Amino acid sequence: MELREHVTLGPLTTLGVGGAARYFAAATTEDEILEALGWAGQQGVPVRVLGGGSNLVVSDAGFDGLVLAVWLRGSSFSSASGDALFSVKAGEPWDSVVAQAVARGLAGLEGLSGIPGSAGATPIQNVGAYGQEVAETVVSVRVIDRSLLSALEFSAAECRFAYRDSFFKSEAPERYVVTEVRFGLSEREPAPVRYPDLLRELERRAIAAPTLAEVRDCVLAVRGEKSMLLDPNDPNGRSCGSFFLNPIVPAELAERVRSVAGSTAVPTYPQRDGRVKLAAGWLIEHSGFQKGLRDGHVGLSTKHALAVVAHDGATANEVKKLSQRIVAGVRERFGVELVPEPNFWGF
């Protein structure tokens, strides 16, 4: 294990802001993870685990501890054709994982194309988009238990997946380091497309019965139009993607939102438990925060009100202040509490 000191973290995140880690180690094997964790335990140094840096805001002061970058790479399929178990190391870039599955004609991940970050983060967040979640295909997750310094395996049921949530995120945060994820994928046609953005893109291409590859291409096109792909030439590109979770609220609160909105149609998505999912981006825009808003060196994407963008000269403090301003504005207008999706380090 190579231990470095005072490594600036901003360039290792998609938002591109933040100070330095007091200590930094990049692990490419489970043994190196165990070595780094053992060293930190002996020294009494706190640890944060870094994946692809796509869901992270690091404070301007940085992190006074060890940042452990999990860069394990590699993937394999259990069979050459038909249904397959797809085993992926945690450090694999996520979109590459989706591309490999689609290239083999395996369905289940195509709607998750273009999402930045690494494979190891997907079960923690239960990453989802366009009607798919990794919870639908995860078979098991291999982890290092930081308390026991040993490897364990969690079944999908033990992961306790929920909307953008899992056991790892809400019940045992920081305890486990994901090293490998196994997905069960099927050789079949893609599920029917229901999301309006994708339907419009398919219609524009005159595709009535899309293949997996065509669904993937359409997802990438739609995400690109919204500046939701990693593109260094995109002025909206320095972001965490969607900065706030879509709130799931009691039906009574959803009705209140409709009442406050008056004649304006409110996008709502009924849930199986009787609650209602609201669109965070819609709430933000209708609380007075328009796409393209600038506040110092930060702002909202010109294409997507749900994305907080860091422009040249931006600081982490500016990002946090804008996010707090948005949360307060939506609360005051609609009585809905938005929850940021990224992790915040060092604040």
Report the 3 state secondary structure along 303-342.
Answer: CCCCCEEECCCCCHHHHHHHHHHHHHHHHHHHCCCCCECC
Encoded tokens for 22: 């007091």
Please say if 171 is a catalytic residue.
no
| Contact between residue 85 and residue 78 where contact means Cβ atoms under 8 Å apart | yes
Rounded-to-integer distance, Cα 243 and Cα 347, Å: 17
Per-residue pLDDT band at 80 (split at 50, 70, 90): low
The mean pLDDT value for 205-212 works out to 95
What pLDDT is stored for residue 61 in this prediction? 98
Rounded-to-integer distance, Cα 7 and Cα 343, Å: 19
Domain ranges of the chain: 3-70, 75-225, 248-345
Give me the torsion for CA of 52, 176, 337, 127, rounded to 10°: 50
Catalytic residue among 164, 182, 216, 223: 164
| Contact between residue 13 and residue 56 where contact means Cβ atoms under 8 Å apart | yes
Per-residue pLDDT band at 81 (split at 50, 70, 90): low
CATH architecture of structural domain 3-70 = 2-Layer Sandwich (3.30)
> What is the 3-class SS of 78-94, one letter each residue?
CCCCCCEEEEEECCCEH
Q: Chain-centre distance of CA 100, in angstroms? A: 19
Per-residue pLDDT band at 120 (split at 50, 70, 90): very high
Encoded tokens for 257: 């939102």
| Contact between residue 14 and residue 53 where contact means Cβ atoms under 8 Å apart | yes
Q: DSSP state, 169?
A: I
| Contact between residue 208 and residue 165 where contact means Cβ atoms under 8 Å apart | no
pLDDT at 230 over 90: no
Give me the torsion for CA of 18, 20, 25, 28, rounded to 10°: 20
Encoded tokens for 188: 């079949």
| Contact between residue 326 and residue 338 where contact means Cβ atoms under 8 Å apart | yes
CATH code for 248-345?
3.90.78.10
Residues 30-40 have pLDDT tens digits of: 999 999 999 99
Q: How far is CA 44 from CA 41, 49, 58, 70, 179, in A?
A: 5, 16, 21, 20, 23
Single pTM value for the model: 0.90
Per-residue pLDDT band at 278 (split at 50, 70, 90): very high
What pLDDT is stored for residue 1 in this prediction? 82
Q: Chain-centre distance of CA 25, in angstroms? A: 23
What pLDDT is stored for residue 75 in this prediction? 96
The mean pLDDT value for 298-303 works out to 96
Catalytic residue among 118, 239, 242, 287: 242
Please say if 341 is a catalytic residue.
yes
Looking at CATH, the fold of the domain delimited by 75-225 is given as 3.30.465
